[in-house]
C-alpha cells in the first residue's frame, strides 16, 4: 500500500490498526479460550474433547463475526463521524469491503491453529504459513507492480493467500492427520454453549483491551497536524514491532501450550520450569532485536514508503521503537502464561488499568499538552505496557501452581464427555 501512494498507506493503516484490530481483537481474544481448553485437555489426555471444543468455538465465533461485518460496510461514515479527513475516509471505505472475507478467515485460521498447537503439531502450521508468505509476496508483486491493479490487486493478493492456509488446515484436520482429536462433527458442539460463551467473552475482553490499545493511540495521532504523515510514521513503526512481535508471539503460544499441558497433566513444577525457559529465551532475543533497530532505525522505513518526510519521522522514533521491542519480549510470554492458566478475567482488569488509565492518559498529556506529538503518544504507550508487564510478573511470581493444577482439573471435568458417549452422538464424519 505504501508503494501505491501515501494516502492509500494512511487509509490502509487506519483500517488495519483501528477497524481490523477492533474485530481481530474480539475474535482472537475469544478464540484464546480455546487455547486454555485444548491445551489443558491435551495434557489430561482428554483428546476426543478437543474436536468438540473446536466446533463450539466455530459456533460462537461465526455468530460473533457476522455481527461485526457492518463495521467494514460502513467504514467511511464511521471514520467521518470520529473526525478523520474526508480523503482518508473515502479511500478507507473502498479498501474496507475487501476485509469482509478476511473476518471469516480469522475464525477458522485462529481456532485451527490453536487446536493444532495445543497438540504440539506446530510444523504443519509452519509449513503452511511459509507457503502462504511466498504466495502472498508473489501475488502482491504480480498484481500491484506488473498488472498495476492498485488497491484491488493488493487486497486480492491478501484474500487468495489467507484463504489458502485455511484450506490447507481443513485438509490436514479433516484428512485423518488428527485421528485422536478429530472424531467428526458432533451435535455436542451445540451443547453447554453458555459456559463456553462466558469463558470466551472473558478471554475476548482480556485481549481486546490489549490489542485496541495501539488502535486508540493511532486514532489520537490522526487528530494532529500533518495527520497523514503522523499516521503513516506511527503505523510503520507499529508494523515493524508487529513483525518482531511474531517471534514473541511464538513464545506466547509456547508458554500458553506448555503451561496448559502441564497443568492439565497435574505437574506444577513442569509448568513453572516452562515459564522460566520461555521468558529467558524471549528476553535474550528481544535484546538482540532492540540493538538492531537502534542501529538500522534510519533505513527501515524505506521498506514501507518512498516518502522522505515519512522516513525522517520514523527515524526520529527509532529509540522508542527499540524500547518497545524489548518490552514485547517479556509481555507476550506473561500473557501466554495467563491464557494457559485461565486467568483471562484477572488480566482483563490489569490491562484496563495499565493501558487505558495510565498509558493513554500519559500519552495524551505528553502528546497534546507537552506538545511532543507522536513521540509523546508513544511514550505513554510504553508506560502502559511497562506497568502491565510488572504487574503480570508479580502475579506470576506469587501464584500457587499446585492450586492452579486443581483448578484446571475442575474445569476439564465440568465439560468432560466419555469417549463412547461422544462417538455415539457424532452426526457425520470427516
CB atoms inside a 10 Å sphere around CB 119: 18
The residue with greater pLDDT, 245 or 292, is 292
Residue 377's pLDDT band, with cuts at 50, 70 and 90, is confident
- Is a pLDDT exceeding 80 seen at residue 18? no
The residue assigned the cell 466419555 is: 418
- Is a pLDDT exceeding 90 seen at residue 166? yes
What distances in angstroms separate CA 104 from CA 64, 162, 208, one per listed residue? 10, 10, 18
Measured CA to CA, the distance from residue 94 to residue 83 in angstroms comes to 18
Of residues 330, 316, 343, the one with CA closest to residue 382: 330
Q: Which pLDDT belongs to residue 142?
A: 92
CB atoms inside a 10 Å sphere around CB 421: 11
Radius of gyration of the chain (CA): 22
Write out pLDDT tens, residues 185-206: 888 778 777 777 877 887 777 7
Q: Which pLDDT belongs to residue 430?
A: 43
Residue 429's pLDDT band, with cuts at 50, 70 and 90, is very low
Residue 181's pLDDT band, with cuts at 50, 70 and 90, is confident
The residue assigned the cell 475464525 is: 107
| Residue 267, CB-side half-sphere exposure with 13 Å CA sphere | 13
Q: Which pLDDT belongs to residue 341?
A: 85
Q: Which pLDDT belongs to residue 224?
A: 64
The residue with greater pLDDT, 32 or 69, is 69
- The domain segmentation of the chain, as residue ranges, is 6-121+178-418
Residue 427's pLDDT band, with cuts at 50, 70 and 90, is very low
Range in 226-235, 245-254, 261-270, 396-405 the model is least confident about: 226-235
Where does 297-372 have alpha helices with state H?
308-315, 318-328, 331-341, 344-351, 360-364
- Is a pLDDT exceeding 90 seen at residue 169? yes
Q: Which pLDDT belongs to residue 160?
A: 92
Measured CA to CA, the distance from residue 374 to residue 232 in angstroms comes to 11
What distances in angstroms separate CA 279 from CA 142, 254, 340, one per listed residue? 41, 10, 14
Amino acid at each position: 500500500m505504501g508503494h501505491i501512494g501515501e494516502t492509500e498507506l494512511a487509509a490502509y493503516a487506519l483500517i488495519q490498526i483501528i477497524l481490523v484490530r477492533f474485530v481481530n481483537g474480539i475474535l482472537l481474544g475469544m478464540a484464546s479460550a480455546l487455547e486454555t481448553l485444548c491445551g489443558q485437555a491435551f495434557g489430561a489426555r482428554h483428546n476426543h474433547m478437543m474436536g468438540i471444543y473446536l466446533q463450539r468455538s466455530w459456533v460462537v465465533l461465526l455468530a460473533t463475526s457476522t455481527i461485526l461485518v457492518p463495521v467494514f460496510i460502513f467504514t467511511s461514515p464511521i471514520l467521518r463521524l470520529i473526525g478523520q479527513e474526508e480523503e482518508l475516509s473515502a479511500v478507507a471505505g473502498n479498501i474496507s469491503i475487501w476485509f469482509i472475507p478476511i473476518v471469516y478467515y480469522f475464525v477458522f485460521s485462529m481456532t485451527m491453529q490453536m487446536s493444532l498447537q495445543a497438540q504440539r503439531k506446530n510444523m504443519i502450521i509452519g509449513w503452511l504459513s511459509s507457503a502462504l508468505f511466498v504466495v502472498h509476496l508473489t501475488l502482491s508483486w504480480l498484481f500491484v507492480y506488473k498488472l498495476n491493479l492498485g488497491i484491488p490487486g493488493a487486497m486480492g493478493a491478501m484474500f487468495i493467500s489467507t484463504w489458502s492456509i485455511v484450506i490447507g488446515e481443513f485438509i490436514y484436520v479433516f484428512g485423518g492427520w488428527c485421528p485422536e482429536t478429530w472424531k467428526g462433527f458432533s451435535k455436542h458442539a451445540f451443547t453447554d454453549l453458555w459456559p463456553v460463551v462466558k469463558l470466551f467473552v472473558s478471554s475476548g475482553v482480556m485481549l481486546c483491551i490489549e490489542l485496541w490499545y495501539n488502535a486508540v493511540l493511532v486514532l489520537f495521532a490522526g487528530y494532529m497536524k500533518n495527520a497523514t504523515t503522523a499516521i503513516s510514521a506511527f503505523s510503520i513503526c507499529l508494523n515493524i514491532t508487529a513483525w518482531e512481535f511474531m517471534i514473541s508471539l511464538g513464545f506466547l503460544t509456547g508458554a500458553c501450550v506448555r503451561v496448559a499441558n502441564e497443568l492439565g497433566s497435574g505437574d506444577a513444577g513442569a509448568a513453572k520450569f516452562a515459564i522460566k525457559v520461555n521468558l529467558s529465551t524471549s528476553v535474550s532475543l528481544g535484546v538482540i532485536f532492540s540493538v538492531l533497530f537502534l542501529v538500522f532505525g534510519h533505513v527501515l522505513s524505506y521498506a514501507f514508503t518512498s516518502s522522505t518526510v515519512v522516513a525522517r519521522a520514523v527515524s526520529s522514533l527509532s529509540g522508542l521503537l527499540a524500547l518497545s521491542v524489548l518490552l514485547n519480549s517479556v509481555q507476550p510470554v506473561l500473557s501466554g502464561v495467563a491464557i494457559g492458566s485461565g486467568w483471562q478475567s484477572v488480566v482483563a482488569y490489569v490491562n484496563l488499568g495499565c493501558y487505558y488509565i495510565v498509558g493513554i492518559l500519559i500519552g495524551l498529556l505528553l502528546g497534546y499538552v507537552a506538545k511532543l506529538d507522536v513521540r509523546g503518544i508513544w511514550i505513554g504507550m510504553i508506560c502502559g505496557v511497562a506497568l502491565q508487564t510488572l504487574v503480570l510478573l508479580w502475579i506470576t511470581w506469587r501464584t500457587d501452581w499446585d492450586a492452579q493444577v486443581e483448578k484446571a482439573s475442575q474445569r476439564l471435568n465440568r465439560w468432560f464427555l466419555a469417549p463412547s458417549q461422544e462417538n455415539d452422538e457424532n452426526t457425520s464424519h470427516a
